[in-house]
Amino acid sequence: MPHPLPDALSSWSEAPRVRRMNERAIRPEGRYVLCWLQQALRARDNPVIDAGVRLGNDLGLPVLVYHGLREDYPYASDRLHRFILGASRDLARECRERGIACVQHVDRADRREKGLVYRLAADSAAVMVEDQPTFVARWQSERVAARIDRAMLAVNAACLVPPAILGDDIGSTTAFRRRHQPLRGDWLVAADWTAKVAAYDGPLPFTSDRLDVCTDADLDRFVAAAAIDHALPLSPMFPAGRDGALVMLERMMDEVLPTYATTRNDATQAVGASMLSPYLHFGVIGPREVMAAVEAAIAPAASKEKFADELLTWREWFHYQALTLPAPERYDRISEWARETLAAHAGDPRPEVETLDALLHGETRDETWNACQRQFLIDGWMHNNLRMYWGKRIIAMTPDPEIAWATACYLNDRLSLDGRDPSTYGNIAASFGGGSPGREGPAIYGKVPTRSDGSTRHRPGGPAWLAAAATRPRQTLVVPDGLPTALYLSGEPLV
């Protein structure tokens, strides 16, 4: 008999967010309910913590929030590490304000903690984890769920509307929007649960790094001590942590939303887009909080609707899609017709092929592509309109379609703060052939529609903007000998 959800969770209004990851029992004799966070790095309106608090209250146990940062995740760099540490510090501070204990470990040469999550789980009644459908968070939680001897429950913290209530039969964005839109109102109000049990202060199998009391200089020291890519610097555009997210939210309300419907596609505008995606990716802010700000903003209805469509239709559609795919990162996720037409053209002459070095550094023969890539390289983010050109053009700039896919995922994942996300692979898949086939087109692309750079180049000032953007001073990164493609190619096992 499969174990049902515990009553404390099945009776919860947010129950559709929760699913069992294994069939093991809850152990009420545990010391705490463990909330193991990997990416949803916020303490408020975090359904993983709220589910843990509900279960803990029912069992008479406290919640223990744990976040660990390893050095060996793919593409670990100063840029990603520092952004994550800033978010983790604020997570711990806000947990403390909520009366919940939060412990952290940052792996480094003089302090490694092998198997820490297993040791923490061994003292728990149950483990709550976020339901992330891509990359490390997915692989790790699946591995741990299979190995521990107690219940592990996954909770969706990324989406406004829990994907589980949408059914499993939606095949297009249009159908998704139709089903998703009428449900949104039901999920807009968050209710943090108050822990009835005092914050956990019992024994631990390690000494926590206590990021909550760390200064910026302390966090910088953690980064410096880690065996990671130190050549990729922090992004000056995206300060880490809750303050960074809240500044961006305010900017969105005051400067972006008033004209969003008309300026969102203009990459030359400094305030055309919200730049919230890094904070959403790492869960520093959730869609519910963003939507509350949208509702409160003074802006035309058309702008609010457009923004809600991007945040709720497009973002949540790619989460929904990824949840149904065994490996959303792999080339074989793109539509069959696109794989067929790209394979039929794989042998076409490719005079525009570039080296990985030129691609990574934005030093190709294509000025517009360089302008796009330098945003990834320097800012750790790229404007949506540029991403659409970048994702199409890379098909002609690489030796074959599967290498093109792996290269696009690699550049996006290594450099962009919002990479490694369901939106990463979903959007690249859309560039490689989302929707329906077009008419047989030029060499290399076959029936995959192409895209020009006209939406930027033909704007007033567009050519000058592109020329400047393509030559921004940049750093030099280490280029791997071979493309690290194993994650992305068809049929390759995941790490």
Ligand X SMILES: Cc1cc2nc3c(=O)[nH]c(=O)nc-3n(C[C@H](O)[C@H](O)[C@H](O)COP(=O)(O)OP(=O)(O)OC[C@H]3O[C@@H](n4cnc5c(N)ncnc54)[C@H](O)[C@@H]3O)c2cc1C
Nearest approach, Cβ of residue 158 and ligand X (Å): 10
Looking at the Cβ atoms of 38 and 274, the one nearer to ligand X is 274
CB of 394 to ligand X, least distance (A): 9
Closer Cβ to ligand X, 212 or 413, answer by number: 413
The radius of gyration of the chain's CA atoms, rounded to the nearest angstrom, is 23
Span interacting with ligand X, options 12-20, 54-62, 313-321, 440-448, rule CB under 6 A: 313-321
Q: How many chain residues are in contact with ligand X, going by CB under 6 A?
A: 27
Q: Which of 242, 315, 361, 393 binds ligand X (CB under 6 A)?
A: 315
Helical residues (DSSP H) of 256-325, grouped into ranges: 260-263, 277-281, 287-296, 301-308, 315-323
For residue 150, how many other CB atoms are within 10 A of its CB?
18
Which CB atom, from 39 or from 416, has the smaller least distance to ligand X?
416
Helix (H, G, I), strand (E, B) or coil at 22: coil
Q: How far apart are CA 248 and CA 211, in angstroms?
A: 23
| Cα dihedral across residues 210, 212, 218, 223: positive or negative | positive
Q: According to CB under 6 A, which one of 156, 303, 375, 423 is a site residue for ligand X?
A: 423
- The Cα–Cα gap between 396 and 348 comes to 10
Report the residue from 341, 398, 424, 456 that binds ligand X according to the rule CB under 6 A.
Answer: 424
Please report how close the Cβ of residue 475 comes to ligand X at its closest, in angstroms.
20
Write down the least CB distance from residue 339 to ligand X, Å.
17
Binders in 220-279 for ligand X, by CB under 6 A: 264, 273-277
- Check binding of 319 to ligand X (CB under 6 A): no
Least distance in angstroms from the C-beta of 393 to ligand X: 10
CB of 188 to ligand X, least distance (A): 16
Q: Is there binding between residue 208 and ligand X (CB under 6 A)?
A: no
What is the chain's length? 495
Binding of residue 22 to ligand X (CB under 6 A)? no
- Whole-Å CA distances, 453 to 93, 154, 247, 368, 387: 45, 42, 31, 7, 11
Which one of 9, 34, 121, 428 is in contact with ligand X (CB under 6 A)? Answer: 428
Binding-site member from 36, 314, 369, 465 for ligand X (CB under 6 A): 314
Does residue 88 belong to the site contacting ligand X (CB under 6 A)? no
- Residue of 64, 280, 397, 444 interacting with ligand X (CB under 6 A): 280
Sign of the CA dihedral with 388 first, then 236, 67, and 54 last? negative
The DSSP output letter for 111 is: B
β-bridge mates for residue 126, sequence order: 33
CB 33 within 8 A of CB 52: yes
Residue number with CB closer to ligand X (423 or 456): 423
Question: What is the nearest approach in angstroms of ligand X to the Cβ of residue 32?
Answer: 33
387 touches ligand X (CB under 6 A): yes
Distance CA 385, CA 405 (A): 19
3-class DSSP assignment, residue 291 = helix
Say how far apart CA 411 and CA 480 lie, in whole Å: 12
> Helix or strand or coil: residue 77?
strand
Least separation in angstroms between residue 61's CB and ligand X is 35
- Residue 388 binds to ligand X (criterion: CB under 6 A): yes
Q: CB atoms < 10 A from the CB of 248, how many?
A: 23
Interface positions with ligand X (CB under 6 A): 264, 273-277, 280-281, 310-311, 314-315, 318, 384, 387-388, 391, 412, 416, 418-419, 421, 423-424, 427-428, 431
